[in-house]
Amino acid sequence: MAEHIETGKKGEEIALGFLKKKGYKIIATNWRFGKDEIDIITIDNDCLVIVEVKTRRSNYFGEPEIAVTKKKQKFLIRAANAYIIQKDIDIETRFDIISIIIKTEKYTINHIEDAFYPTL
């Protein structure tokens, strides 16, 4: 398996553990709608949370969260909308980013709540 795929999978495992420790209820992981994918879908209190996980081995080219471009946000919003319709969900929704930098066995994690908002 390619190193960047392994890094991404490890980052998602770290993010899941982090969210569980914070009391989030995990609903789904790697949920797909066509070509779009949501890394983690969770509930925090009475809010549906769509989580994008970005993991890197260093921040040499900037923090991982900068990779969540407007285009990526559009894909996440489209997938989230499909999920909400498919599951008939009627609660507030927010979009979070979990940014992780893994250096050997240590890592840093940055949870950005309300990282972006869907636009009309």
Model pTM greater than 0.85?
yes
Provide the β-strand partners of residue 94. 49
Question: Which CATH code is given to the segment(s) 3-116?
Answer: 3.40.1350.10
Q: Does the pLDDT at position 54 exceed 60?
A: yes
Sorted by sequence, the CB contacts under 8 Å of residue 7 that are 6+ apart come out as 55, 56, 57, 102
**Rounded mean pLDDT, 93-111:** 94
The domain ranges of the chain are 3-116
Q: Please state, in angstroms and rounded to a whole number, the distance separating the CA atoms of residues 17 and 51.
A: 13
**Rounded mean pLDDT, 56-64:** 88
Nearest Cα residue to 83 out of 119, 44, 39: 39
Average pLDDT along the chain: 93
Classified as helix, coil or strand, 45 is coil
Tokens of 74: 């559009």
Q: Please state, in angstroms and rounded to a whole number, the distance separating the CA atoms of residues 9 and 23.
A: 21
**Rounded mean pLDDT, 56-82:** 93
